[in-house]
Structure formats: C-alpha cells, structure tokens
C-alpha cells in the first residue's frame, strides 16, 4: 500500500472531514486503489518515522483546472471556512503552481475497521 502525505490537512484526515484532495501528480490512481494516509512521507529528519493515520480507498479521480474548484469541494477538502479563491491561493503558494494548472482531483473514503 502506498503512503500519501496529508501534512497540511492532518487534523482534517484524523477527524475524517476531508474526502477530496487535489494533487499535481498521482495520475496512476484508479477507483478501488488502497492508500495509507500519513502525516508526512518525505523530508523526514534522521530517526523520524512515517506516522500513519488511516487507510483510504480511492473512489474517483479526474483532472480539472485548479481554479474551477467549487465552494462545496473546498469543504470536501476539509477547509470549512475558506472560499474557493482562498483555497486556490493557498494551494498555489504551497505547490508553486498557477491557478489554471490541471490538478488531479482525488475523491476517497475511509476504511472502517482497518488499522494502519
């Protein structure tokens, strides 16, 4: 099972209020794939270990321009009080991309009764 970092949205994943994530990669994912949500997967200091959160199942993926995000999807991303424009600005700043860049919209579900 591959690890996927949710460094910026760790609490949203732990609270299971996030069910969509946008990525500049992960184009190989398909519905039914299992992924382990983690706090951070890269840039760990010597001696640090990956902290697993929950296993997730991919429900759907599709490419779309980042700046086409709807208010409902911002909520599904786990940002309950952010506007679409604020989300796009935050995403671009963190990922160093442009607002009209195609991203991979990944919808997922949490697996009940499966321990990391």
- pLDDT surpasses 90 at 113: no
**What pLDDT does residue 115 have?**
56
**What pLDDT does residue 84 have?**
98
Per-residue pLDDT of 29-81, as tens digits, reads 999 999 999 987 666 678 778 788 999 999 999 999 999 999 999 999 999 99
> Whole-model pTM?
0.90
Distance of CA 88 to the CA centre of its chain: 14
**What pLDDT does residue 40 have?**
79
Residue that the structure tokens 């994943």 belong to: 13
**What pLDDT does residue 50 have?**
77
Query: If you write DSSP's letter for every residue of 34-58 in order, what string do you get?
Result: EEEEES--SSPPTT----EEEEEEE
* CATH 3.20.20.70 fits domain 2-110: no
Closest listed residue to residue 36, CA positions, set 6, 63, 9: 6
Closest listed residue to residue 40, CA positions, set 77, 90, 14, 6: 6
**What pLDDT does residue 43 have?**
66
Mean per-residue pLDDT, 7-15: 94
């Amino acid at each position: 099972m591959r690890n996927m970092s949710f460094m910026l949205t760790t609490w949203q994943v732990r609270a299971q209020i996030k069910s969509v994530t946008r990525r500049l990669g992960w184009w190989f994912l398909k519905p039914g794939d299992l992924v382990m949500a983690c706090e951070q997967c890269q840039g760990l200091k010597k001696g640090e270990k990956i902290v697993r959160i929950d296993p997730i199942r991919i429900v759907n993926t599709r490419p779309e321009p980042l700046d086409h995000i709807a208010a409902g999807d911002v909520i599904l991303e786990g940002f309950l009080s952010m506007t679409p424009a604020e989300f796009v600005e935050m995403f671009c700043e963190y990922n160093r991309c442009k607002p009209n860049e195609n991203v991979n919209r990944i919808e997922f579900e949490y697996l009940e009764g499966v321990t990391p």
